Amino acid sequence: MELREFAERILFATTLEEKLLRPVDITDENPGTAIVTPNAPGRPTELQFKVTGTARDSFPGTKNLEQSRERGQLLHFFANHELLATELMALVLLKFPDAPAAFRKGLLQTLKDEQEHTQLYLARMKDCGIHFGELPVSGYFWRSVSPMENPLDYVSSLCLTFEQANLDFARHYAKNFAQVGDDATAKLLEKIYRDEIGHVAYGLKWFRRWKNPGESDWDAFCRQLKFPLSPQRAKGITLNVEGRRAAGLDPQFIAALDVFSQSKGRTPNVFVFNPFAEGRIAEGKTFNPTKHQAQLARDLENLPQFLCRQDDLVLVNEKPSVEFLSGIKQAGFPLPEFVVGQASRLSSPTGDAGFATGKMPVPLHLAARKLGSLRPWAWSPDSVELFAPLFKNLNTEKRTALESFNPQIAKFYSKSWSADFLRKTLNVGRAALPRSLPSHSHETEAAQQRRPTNQNWLCDENEIGVAVNSLDEARAAISKIRARGHHKIVVKEAFGVAGSNAMRLFEPEILETQLRWLKNAFAQKRELVVEPWLERVTDFSVQLEMTERGLKLCGFTGLINDARGQFVANFAESHFHKRIPAKIISQFSAQTNISGKLLELYHTIFARLETELRETKFSGAIGIDAFVYRAANGDVKLKPIVEINPRYTLGRVLVELMRQTRQNCAGQFRLVNAAQLRTEGFENFPDYANSLAQKFPLQIEGEPVPRIRSGVLCLNDPTRTKVCLAVFQVT
């Protein structure tokens, strides 16, 4: 029989018997002309593909595998895959008659293996009481592979994707069947596993022959696959390194596959690190970060990966290294899919930070995918501009650009708005705080009745900043504050970036340099906030999430800032998700039930803030910075709102990191800059990271979900870090 006739019978026959016949003598003297891909292969009625768009496959799983019928249903699923592979190989023979004779000969042998596998599954299914076709069958393999344009597409999509994944599935399910005493099926799967090693090796040989010789196997594989296929489909439940090595895949390919992630069905959320939102709001498109700020953004651009769920997307200018991601995976964190921007625009002589400033367009292939929600670090003009092509793709959280960011949302970034909100919320001097806790508080009614009514532990109205828009207003505000005994003053721009854009006035008179700073700010129409300098004792933050159901408390974290108010580190204690840090509570030792009073205060703040957020349709992360300070008379007091950040914060990153730790652990997140590096005696970040790993090795415990008990984990790649390393320590 001619190979063409054999392939036609397999592809177009409408009975299983015809599809599975294997003639002994087959020649390939008349390959014929290329055919047009049919919509589907010929099949008996009961084995035709279910309609696309209907319910997804009901995969039987292994929960009740000791039951014969459950085993049969799983085998039914596998048998359809083997039959599909047989049909696709027949299609390749008919679609590419001019392919090398050696390739076609090898493909014929593989096709015969797939026929045998199908027959073996059918026999075992029959023993389990299942008839092939009594369950719906999927055509996903066919839809994914049949559009192939050349043999390289075929070996990439079937041999190196679906058959490679079977190196994992066959070995995994062989063990499952053996555990329930079905040795016959276990042996069958072991045979298929051995055959699949040969099939992958065959595909790899031709893949290497046809790919661009200048590309690595991994890069060529990723480039060759067409969405929705991705390397994620090339692996199963647990990565079988042994089988891949036997098939000839190199260690670099295997390691890259291990840390690759892409959704196999769930619509992903899209994250991006854009830390300069306030700058873009204040200055518009004229804002440009300094060279140092731009490098800082590049160093930390992968941080949103710790805010993600499995299968989410993070936009980056450069994907983290395989070695770094492998360490993150071993620590138990799910890995997102990293989407890299256009290579020609990854760097800019002007110092912009690509995705971080909204100046990098999203890749075209992403603009064609269905997405869950868009989650920038901050909603601002840059993130709206960046995500503009994606709003139409949302099918979970359907929001427009205007709903995501508008002038009403922009006001939340202003320190002026935060000061006014604090003033109104406390309603200082009119005893506005409620005498009872909101219904969702955990404090009992008896505790409420015992609560003292004095509020001398709170800041008063004179210690809250005031907004000014001219030099005369600034002078007047400064005079009033000093007349009340506060000689040290701080002036902040209403929109500032990470503790910058602020000036301290500690001298009796305004210096010439300070006067120029004020005049320059007002000349550029910038609003300033003038407030007394308070002697901080300790800082903390509250992390929240505004959802459709309302404002949700995510946790409390302690804060360590430098003298300029810039972030150094934060910390989380056990029960961080519902308790204010003990370090904060301990400052008010003279107050009774201070923990309850602080929670009451913050529930009041949350309720009023939620109302404001609902009015603007705001959705997403919120952080509130606060601190304890010592008044001139020695009293310890609380400023419950220093500023409100309507965005993700490093405190929120810590809250999410803590979810991967063992119960009752404490954690610290800190940023280490080049100066600190030198202070600790190190010349570079890799050496510093290695030293931390030796001093504080990561200890992982727990099954089936491993969690961190103690140790240090670097959160960005030390080998690529230029100015700032993020470090997470668990104790």
Q: Residue 597: which residues within 8 A CB-CB, separation 6 or more?
A: 451, 452, 457, 591
Residue 512, domain member (yes or no): no
State the pLDDT at residue 703: 79
| Residue 343 sits in the same domain as residue 284 | yes
Residue 390 belongs to domain spanning: 264-405
Same domain, 313 and 383: yes
Tell me if 522 is assigned to some domain.
no
Alpha helices in 639-702 (DSSP H): 650-658, 674-679, 685-695
Strands ordered across the beta sheet of 374-376:
337-340, 313-316, 270-272, 374-376
Average pLDDT over residues 35-50: 96
Tell me, yes or no, whether 538 lies in a domain: no
Looking at residue 13, its pLDDT comes to 97
CB 158 within 8 A of CB 85: yes
Rounded mean pLDDT, 324-330: 96
Task: Using the 3D structure, point to which of 259, 286, 321 is the last residue of a domain.
Answer: 259
pLDDT score of 731: 96
Domain-located, residue 411: no
DSSP per position, 16-64: HHHHH---S--B-S---PPPPPPSS----GGGSBPPTTSPPP----STT
In the predicted model, what is the mean pLDDT of residues 423-448? 51
Confidence of residue 353 (pLDDT cuts 50, 70, 90): low
pLDDT tens for each residue of 592-629: 889 999 999 999 999 999 999 999 999 999 999 999 99
- Whether 519 has a pLDDT exceeding 60, the answer reads yes
More confident residue, 440 or 208: 208
Distance CA 364, CA 355 (A): 15
d(CA 138, CA 293): 51
pLDDT band at 287 (very low <50, low <70, confident <90, very high): confident
- Residues 255, 297, single domain; the answer is no
Task: Please state, as a whole number, how many other Cβ atoms lie within 10 Å of the Cβ of residue 589.
Answer: 9
Q: What count of residues does the chain have?
A: 731
The reply to whether 204 and 103 lie within a common domain is yes
CA–CA distance, 710 with 716 (Å, rounded to integer): 19
CA distance 522 to 501: 13
Evaluate whether 318 touches 342 at the Cβ level (below 8 Å).
Answer: no
CATH of the domain at 28: 1.20.1260.10
Sequential DSSP letters for 396-441: SS---HHHHS-HHHHGGG-HHHHHHHHHHHHTTTTT-S-SS--TT-
Which domain-ending residue is among 223, 243, 259?
A: 259
Residue 721 lies in a domain: no
335 lies in the same domain as 202: no
Q: Does the residue 693 lie in any domain?
A: no
Distance, in Å, from the CA atom of 22 to the CA atom of 239, rounded to the nearest integer, reads 33
Residues 92 and 199 in one domain: yes
The mean per-residue pLDDT over the stretch 548-555 comes to 96
213 and 292 share one domain: no
The pLDDT, as a whole number, for residue 368 is 80
Q: What pLDDT is stored for residue 58 in this prediction?
A: 54
pTM value is 0.86
Give the pLDDT mean for 29-51. 95
Identity of the highest mean pLDDT range in 275-284, 346-355, 683-692: 683-692
Asked if the structure places residue 49 within a domain, the reply is no
Q: 435 pLDDT exceeds 70?
A: no
The total domain count for the chain is: 2
pLDDT tens digit sequence for 439-494 = 344 444 444 444 444 578 999 889 999 999 999 999 999 999 999 989 999 999 99
Using a pLDDT cut of 90, give the percent of the chain over it: 80
Same domain, 76 and 195: yes
Answer yes or no: do 270 and 247 share one domain: no
Q: 235 and 300: one domain?
A: no
Token pair for 14: 């409408």
What distances in angstroms separate CA 290 from CA 497, 526, 645, one per listed residue?
A: 11, 19, 22
pLDDT confidence of residue 480 = 95
Q: Is the pLDDT of residue 523 over 70?
A: yes
Q: Quick one: pLDDT at residue 440? A: 41
pLDDT at 498: 54
**Listed residue (316, 306, 313) closest to 336, CA to CA:** 313
Does 283 lie in the same domain as 234? no
Flag whether pLDDT at 369 surpasses 80: yes
Boundary (domain end) residue, out of 241, 259, 277? 259
Rounded CA gap, 697 and 705, in Å? 19
Query: Residue 105 domain-assigned?
Result: yes
Identity of the amino acid at 64: N
Q: Are residues 230 and 141 in the same domain?
A: yes
Summary mean pLDDT of the chain:
90
Give the pLDDT mean for 99-127: 97
For residues 517-546, average pLDDT: 95
Share of the chain above pLDDT 70, in %: 92
